[in-house]
Structures are given as C-alpha cells and as structure tokens.
C-alpha cells in the first residue's frame, strides 16, 4: 500500500511538471529572463521527478524479480540504477541555488547578485562544490549507499542539506531585502515555498515511506507559475510583445535597484493618419507586423515592450551607446520597411526613435515618465536621436517640467480665465465670448493652453482643471450684468477627455444652479475628434445638457477628419471654422468651399463662426459669404475679466 502511494505521488509530480511546462511553451512564454529561468527551474524539477519515479519503479517492480532470479547482487545494483540515483541527487543539489536565481530574476536584481567577486564566490562555490561532491559519490559513497539494492542516505548527506539551507537563507534574505520590487502576491508566494518544502522534507525524514517531497516541490512550482509568472499581465497578446504594465514595472524596478539600462523608444509618427487611411483593424495588423519585425532582430537579453498607441520600447542590457544607436537605427528602418510591404495601399509607417540611458540621462522614474510623455513634442519629426541631443533643445526644460507645473497650478488654483469677444454680424454687437484658460508660471512665464491642455489630458488632470475652470466661469456668469454688458452667453472649451466623464452633465448643471446661472448662458465647444471616444457617454452628456438648455458649438471645423453623420447627430447650434481655413481665404477654391459650406450649414439650421480673423479684408470676405459670427485679433484679443467687462460696456453701448 505504502509503496504504491510512493509511486502515485511521483507520478503526480511528473504529470504536474510536464503539463505546466507544456502550457508555458504553448503560451509562448519562453522569451525574457524570468521566463527562461523559470523554465530552467521547471525542467530541473521535472527531470529530478522523472529520475525519482524511475528509481522507485525500478526498486519496486524490477529489482525484486532480478534479485529473486539471482541476476543482480542486492548490494551492488546495476549501473542503470546507479545512474538514476546519481542524476537524482546531483539535480537536487541544484534546486535551491536555482530557486535563488529565480527570486533574483523575478525581482530583477540578478545584477546585484553578481555585483562583485565576493558575492559571485558566495553564490557559485557552494553550489559547484556540492554538485561535484555528489558526482564523486561512486568513489566515496558519502552521499548515498545501497542497502538491499535500495539507495539510502550516506553518512555525509547533511552536506547537501546544509548547502540547501544556506541557499534558502540567502533566498529569504534576498526576498526581504528587495521586497519593494515585488508585489505582495509575488513576495508571499516566493517566500512561502521555503516553509512548504521544509515541512515536506521533515515529513519525508520522519516517514520515509511517504515520499512526498517531489510532489510538494512540483505543486509549489505550479503555484509560482500561477501567481508569479503571469503572462496576461506581462504580455500584450495583440502585438506579441511585453506589455505596458510590464514596462512600467521594469522601469520602477530599474530605478529602485540602481540598474543600468539602455532604452530605445520607437513611435509611429503617423498613427492617426494610418488609422484614417487603412482603418482600425488593418492598423492593428501594421502594428503587429512592426512588432514582429522588431522582435526578430532582438539580441538575447533584449526585451520588446508595446506601450500602446503605436509606441514601443526596446530594453537592452548592453549599455554602449553605439550598440543602442545600432539597435535604434535598425529598429527604425525595420519598422518602416515592414509596414510598407505589408500594405498594398502604400500606407507607410514613419517612426521617431530615441535612445535613453538609465541612470546616465534620467535620474529617476518621474523624469523618465515626463520625457516619454513629451517625446513626440520634443521630436515632432521622424528619425533617430538620443536623449542627450533632445535635451539641448531650448524648450526642453519647460517640456520636462510641464507635468509638475500643471500639477502645482491645480493645487493652488492659479489658472486664470481670459475672454475673447465674438462679433455677431446680424446685430452688430459682441454678444458672446470664448473663455480661454491661462497659466502663468514664475519661471517660464505664460504657457500656452495648446501645450499644457494636451499634457493635462494625457496624465488625467484635465478633469480637475475643468472643475476649477467651470467654477470660475460659473462664478463669473453668476455676477455678470447681462443688460449693462450686452453679453448673451459664453463659449467654453470642453476637451474630448472631459466629454467622456459620466457625471459631467450633472456636475455642470449643479454648478450652474449653485451660482444662479441659466443654462442658456453657456455654450460648450467640442471638437470632432471627440467622436472617436466613447460615444455613448458623450451622447448622454450632450443630450442631458442640451435638454437643460446648454447649447453646443463644433470647434476647429476643417482640421480633423470629419465624420459628417456623427457631427449631425449631435445638437450643435454653431460650427466654428478653424483659423487655417480663414488663413486660406486668398485661395479661390477655399473661398468656394467655405461659401458653399456656410450655405449648406444654414440650410440645416446651423450658425457659422470664423476663428482667427486678423484683418479687415478677411472679415469683409467672410461677411459677404454670410458668416454669422467672427472671432479674432481683428476685433479683440483674449483679455482678463475686468478688461473684458470694460470692453463690452464700451463697445456694446446702445
Ligand atoms: P481654440 O479653442 O481653437 O481657441 C482659439 C485659439 O485661437 C485661442 O488660443 C485664441 O487665443 C487664438 N486666437 C483667437 N483669435 C486669434 C487670431 O486672430 N489670431 C491668432 N493667431 N490666434 C487667435 P489659446 O487661448 O492659446 O488656446 C489654444 C487652445 O487651447 C484652444 O484652441 C483650445 O483648444 C485650448 N483651450 C484653451 N482654453 C481651454 C479650456 O479652458 N479648456 C480646454 N479644454 N481647452 C482650452
Ligand atoms: Ca475653442
Ligand atoms: Ca478653435
């Protein structure tokens, strides 16, 4: 009974290891240092379990009949049996050090483990020593012996246990030392393995018939695979590259453990255009092709991360800038080439590529994040460059500080609102105005919203800015004397990110109520690009606000790639022509297009507004076309509240 139990435990161990190993290979988890070390551990445990099982089967099923028939001497087992025992003990001596390497790899601290000669000696010498000690057992018989043909522990087996304890203690110390580099689940799982295996060894020692150690070890490895080696978290299956969370984790850990790295950032410059040209699905294929091509060129320890939105990062341990530049140039041309031949409609990817060295270029993770966010602004064109080159740019300091500046301005509410009067041609009055946000920084002076609004949108701060701004605007609208100023309503910009906030409408309505502002005093400007965002929430917001009496304008008409049907489905009352169209008024075809667009919009009940009108000539041309409103420096620049009210009183008088 007991003996069949032994075999069942070992069979279970082999099955568990084999299935886990197979599933890892089938899921393609063979790339990257963690996966490779984990696979090595698995193979080690699997082969040990197989050796253990083979030994048991031999001893229980084959050996008795051989002894009975007198073929073998029970005290001198045949070479095959001896080889199995040797393999078993030799591999067992490697398990604890291998597990330590796994811990270091998961916590990305292998560079620390190998950081000096002392550590290397402490790490490798005991392992090599015990391994050789086992291999020479046929000479000294100190590790194991045979009694009645069955292997039993030798007089010096304790050396193996001592070595394993030594590695276990280092492993535990290492886990505790680098705890902050691991999630609590990773930490607990990796740590728990030690007491579990320890208890199973005690059990096996006390009850030699209960051969459960191999089984417990394989179950533990399975648990590690489930909680520590998680592919879904680390792998972006859409493009077959390491994922964004994995990238963030890698960066965080690199700075925490003073790891030196070279990062090559690659971005598809013309992603939006490609999406318009080939559609979303084909774009996905293009990105996947770029990824496949980049992966195929990686060096052994390099990892390719997909950072979403057409951005990649190659992490290289090779720190030479020449190597990094070679990788960058190669990746750059690879990325371009690949999508050209994958696409019959001649959609060509254009890449911008930059090499960043850690910690040489960036001292901390926040600086790296700020750089990655502003990368496309620092390098609007295509090509290959280095962080060092980009840092020489005049606007570099502002670009890198932008995120902090925006955060600080939110904290101390230091944004102000300017108002730009809008001329109504029908009744010849400044009946409305556009509210425009302003940010004054003590170091960098006035910063354009065209610069900090996209930054705020990217790092999720736009909602807070919107809240501050709405508060200021509603307070202003609440105290304006509409009769004296002749002001009818204000136009307020709403970015796409704000439109998808589910409670936007209710918040805004509550705020207007609080300040005693009638909803018809507010007109919200939305851009066409908003339509790419979650349509349901936008529609709900717009319709609720519209039902309350708020009106809407379509901003920047003529810049994006319009979706006419979508545009007509929302209740816009005014369409605002972008400055670029006004600038093109010298061109007869632009004039024809504008004129017929105005007629068309009038026919469907929309009013029209021209932005950025700077000359009397432009104003006259537009007036002749039948435009309803004009906004621009020709009439007035954006101005602070007091100046704006004085302006209205002066110009709207009678
Ligand atoms: P926009 O909505 O297209 O605003 C019009 C921009 O054109 C303003 O720039 C305005 O000052 C400028 N402008 C007006 N007339 C003329 C002109 O005759 N000539 C020239 N050259 N420019 C003129 P500003 O204030 O720098 O704002 C830039 C962009 O920042 C705005 O473009 C808008 O997209 C965004 N923005 C501004 N304030 C806010 C805000 O409160 N919330 C949000 N979400 N975005 C805002
Ligand atoms: Ca606007
Ligand atoms: Ca505009």
Spans of all domains in the chain: 2-229, 233-393, 415-651
Distance CA 372, CA 100 (A): 34
Phi and psi, residue 268, nearest 5°:
-80, 115
For residues 88-96, give the mean pLDDT.
Answer: 94
Please name which ligand lies nearest the alpha carbon of 577: 3
DSSP 8-state secondary structure symbol assigned to residue 635: T
Q: Are 476 and 641 in contact (CB under 8 A)?
A: yes
pLDDT band, residue 500 (cuts 50/70/90): confident
Between the CA of 149 and the centroid of ligand 2 the distance, in Å, is: 89
Between the CA of 323 and the centroid of ligand 1 the distance, in Å, is: 44
| Extended beta strands in 359-468, E state | 383-386, 416-424, 429-441, 445-447
Distance CA 494, CA 408 (A): 21
Q: By three-state DSSP, how is residue 299 classified?
A: coil
CATH code 1.20.1070.10 for 2-229 = yes
> Is the pLDDT reported for residue 396 higher than 50?
yes
Closest residue by CA, ligand 1 atom 19: 612
Between the CA of 436 and the centroid of ligand 1 the distance, in Å, is: 6
Burial of 284 (0-12, 13-18, 19+ CB in 10 A): middle
Report the range out of 178-182, 444-448, 494-498 with the highest average pLDDT: 444-448
**pLDDT tens track for 347-384:** 678 889 999 999 999 999 999 998 998 898 899 888 88
Between the CA of 493 and the centroid of ligand 1 the distance, in Å, is: 9
Distance CA 598, CA 575 (A): 9
Burial of 148 (0-12, 13-18, 19+ CB in 10 A): exposed
DSSP 8-state secondary structure symbol assigned to residue 76: B
Nearest to 298 by CA among 264, 252, 261: 264
| Farthest CA pair distance, the chain | 126
Least confident of 41-50, 231-240, 333-342: 333-342
Which CB contacts under 8 angstroms, 24+ apart, belong to 626-630?
626/595, 626/598, 626/599, 626/602, 627/425, 627/598, 628/424, 628/425, 628/426, 628/574, 629/422, 629/423, 629/424, 629/425, 629/432, 629/574, 630/422, 630/423, 630/425
Which residues, 6 or more positions from 431, have their beta carbon under 8 angstroms from its beta carbon?
Answer: 422, 424, 486, 487, 488, 489
CATH code 3.90.1300.10 for 233-393 = no
Kindly give the pairing relationship between strand 311-316 and strand 261-268. Answer: antiparallel
> Is the pLDDT reported for residue 247 higher than 90?
yes
Nearest to 269 by CA among 375, 351, 334: 351
Q: What does the block give as tokens for 291?
A: 């990824």
Please name which ligand lies nearest the alpha carbon of 526: 2
Distance CA 96, CA 161 (A): 10
Q: Are 16 and 218 in contact (CB under 8 A)?
A: yes
Closest residue by CA, ligand 1 atom 17: 612
Percent of the chain, pLDDT > 70? Answer: 93
Q: By three-state DSSP, how is residue 28 classified?
A: coil
Could you tell which of 415, 436, 578 is best to mutate to test the pocket of ligand 1, judged by most ligand atoms within 8 Å of the CB? 436
Strand partners, 447: 439
Between the CA of 609 and the centroid of ligand 2 the distance, in Å, is: 11
Distance CA 15, CA 26 (A): 16
| Extended beta strands in 359-488, E state | 383-386, 416-424, 429-441, 445-447
Q: Are 464 and 410 in contact (CB under 8 A)?
A: yes
pLDDT for position 533? 61
User: Residue for token digits 């930059």?
Assistant: 354
Could you tell which of 417, 493, 629 is best to mutate to test the pocket of ligand 1, judged by most ligand atoms within 8 Å of the CB? 493
For residues 277-298, give the mean pLDDT.
Answer: 84
Kindly give the pairing relationship between strand 551-557 and strand 351-358. Answer: unpaired
pLDDT for position 314? 92
> Is the pLDDT reported for residue 574 higher than 80?
yes
Please name which ligand lies nearest the alpha carbon of 615: 1
Please name which ligand lies nearest the alpha carbon of 609: 3
> Is the pLDDT reported for residue 209 higher than 50?
yes
Closest residue by CA, ligand 1 atom 21: 612
For residues 624-639, give the mean pLDDT.
Answer: 97
Would you mind telling me the total number of residues written for the chain in this entry? 654
Q: By three-state DSSP, how is residue 115 classified?
A: coil
pLDDT band, residue 113 (cuts 50/70/90): confident
> Is the pLDDT reported for residue 567 higher than 80?
no
User: What mean pLDDT, rounded, does the chain reach?
Assistant: 88
For residues 611-628, give the mean pLDDT.
Answer: 97
Q: By three-state DSSP, how is residue 326 classified?
A: helix
For residues 141-160, give the mean pLDDT.
Answer: 88
The CATH number, out of the four listed (3.90.1300.10, 2.40.50.100, 3.20.20.450, 2.60.40.420), of the domain defined by the range 415-651: 3.20.20.450
pLDDT for position 338? 53
Ligand 1: residues with CB < 6 A are 420, 436-437, 448-450, 453, 469, 493-495, 555-556, 579, 611-614, 631-633, 638
> Is the pLDDT reported for residue 131 higher than 80?
yes
pLDDT band, residue 346 (cuts 50/70/90): low
pLDDT for position 5? 53
H/E stretch holding 94 reads helix 79-106
Q: Are 321 and 386 in contact (CB under 8 A)?
A: yes
> Is the pLDDT reported for residue 570 higher than 90?
no
For residues 38-45, give the mean pLDDT.
Answer: 92
DSSP, residue by residue, 125-189: HHHHHHHHHHHTHHHH--SEEEETTEEEE-TTTHHHHHHHHHHHHHHHHHHHHTGGGS-HHHHHH
Higher pLDDT, 341 or 435: 435
Burial of 251 (0-12, 13-18, 19+ CB in 10 A): buried
> Is the pLDDT reported for residue 2 higher than 70?
no
For residues 647-652, give the mean pLDDT.
Answer: 93
Between the CA of 157 and the centroid of ligand 1 the distance, in Å, is: 79
Closest residue by CA, ligand 1 atom 8: 436
Report the range out of 264-273, 507-516, 566-575 with the highest average pLDDT: 507-516
For residues 173-181, give the mean pLDDT.
Answer: 91
Distance CA 605, CA 563 (A): 18
> Is the pLDDT reported for residue 515 higher than 90?
yes
């Amino acid at each position: 009974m007991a003996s069949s139990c032994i075999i069942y435990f070992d069979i279970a161990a082999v099955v568990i290891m084999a299935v886990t190993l197979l599933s890892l290979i089938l899921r393609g988890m063979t790339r990257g240092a963690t996966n490779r070390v984990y696979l090595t551990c698995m193979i080690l445990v699997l082969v040990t379990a197989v050796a253990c099982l083979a030994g048991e089967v031999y001893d229980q099923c084959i050996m008795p009949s051989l002894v009975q028939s007198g073929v073998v001497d029970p005290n001198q087992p045949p070479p095959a049996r001896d080889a199995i025992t040797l393999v078993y003990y030799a591999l067992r001596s490697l398990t604890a050090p291998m597990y330590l390497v796994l811990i270091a790899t998961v916590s990305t601290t292998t560079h620390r483990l190998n950081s000096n000669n002392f550590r290397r000696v402490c790490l490798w010498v005991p392992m090599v020593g015990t391994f050789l000690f086992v291999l020479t057992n046929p000479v000294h018989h100190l590790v194991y012996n045979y009694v009645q043909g069955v292997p039993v522990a030798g007089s010096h087996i304790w050396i193996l246990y001592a070595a394993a304890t030594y590695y276990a203690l280092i492993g535990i110390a290492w886990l505790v030392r680098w705890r902050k580099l691991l999630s609590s689940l990773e930490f607990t799982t990796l740590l728990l393995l030690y007491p579990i295996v320890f208890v199973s060894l005690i059990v096996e020692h006390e009850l030699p018939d209960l051969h459960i150690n191999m089984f417990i070890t394989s179950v533990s490895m399975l648990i590690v695979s489930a909680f520590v080696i998680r592919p879904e978290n680390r792998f972006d299956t859409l493009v077959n590259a390491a994922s964004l969370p994995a990238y963030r984790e890698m960066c965080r850990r690199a700075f925490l453990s003073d790891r030196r790295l070279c990062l090559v950032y690659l971005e598809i410059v013309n992603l939006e255009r490609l999406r318009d040209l080939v559609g979303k699905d084909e774009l996905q294929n293009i990105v996947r092709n770029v990824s496949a091509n980049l992966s195929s060129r990686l060096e052994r320890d390099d990892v390719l991360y997909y950072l979403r939105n057409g951005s990649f990062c190659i992490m290289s341990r090779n720190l030479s800038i020449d190597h990094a530049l070679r990788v960058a140039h190669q990746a750059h041309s690879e990325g371009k080439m690949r999508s050209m031949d994958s696409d019959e409609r001649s959609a060509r990817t254009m890449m911008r590529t930059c090499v960043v060295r850690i910690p040489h270029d960036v001292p901390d993770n926040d600086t790296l994040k700020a750089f990655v966010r502003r990368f496309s602004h620092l390098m609007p064109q295509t090509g290959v460059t280095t962080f060092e080159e980009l840092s020489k740019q005049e606007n570099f300091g502002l670009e890198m500080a932008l995120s902090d500046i925006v955060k600080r301005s939110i904290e101390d509410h230091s944004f102000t609102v300017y108002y730009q009067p809008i001329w109504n041609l029908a009744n010849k009055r400044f009946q409305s105005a556009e509210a425009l946000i302003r940010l004054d920084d003590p170091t960098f002076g006035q910063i354009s919203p065209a610069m900090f609004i996209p930054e705020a949108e990217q790092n999720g701060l736009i909602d807070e800015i919107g809240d501050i701004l709405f508060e200021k605007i509603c307070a202003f609208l609440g105290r304006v004397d509409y009769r004296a100023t002749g002001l009818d309503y204000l136009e307020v910009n709403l970015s796409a990110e704000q439109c998808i906030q589910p409670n936007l409408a209710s918040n805004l309505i509550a705020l207007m109520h609080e300040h005693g502002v009638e909803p018809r005093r507010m007109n919200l400007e939305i851009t066409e690009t908003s339509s790419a965002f979650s349509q349901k929430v936008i529609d709900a917001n717009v319709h609720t606000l519209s039902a309350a009496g708020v009106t809407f304008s379509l901003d920047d008409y003529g810049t994006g790639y319009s979706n006419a049907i979508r545009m007509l489905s929302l209740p816009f009352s005014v369409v605002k022509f972008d400055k670029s169209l006004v600038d093109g008024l010298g061109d007869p075809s632009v004039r024809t297009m504008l004129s017929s667009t105005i007629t068309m919009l009038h026919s469907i009940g929309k009013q029209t507004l021209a932005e950025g009108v700077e000359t009397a000539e432009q104003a006259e041309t537009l007036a002749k076309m039948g435009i309803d409103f004009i906004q621009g420096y020709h009439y007035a620049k954006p101005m602070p509240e007091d100046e704006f009210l004085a302006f209205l009183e002066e110009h709207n008088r009678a």
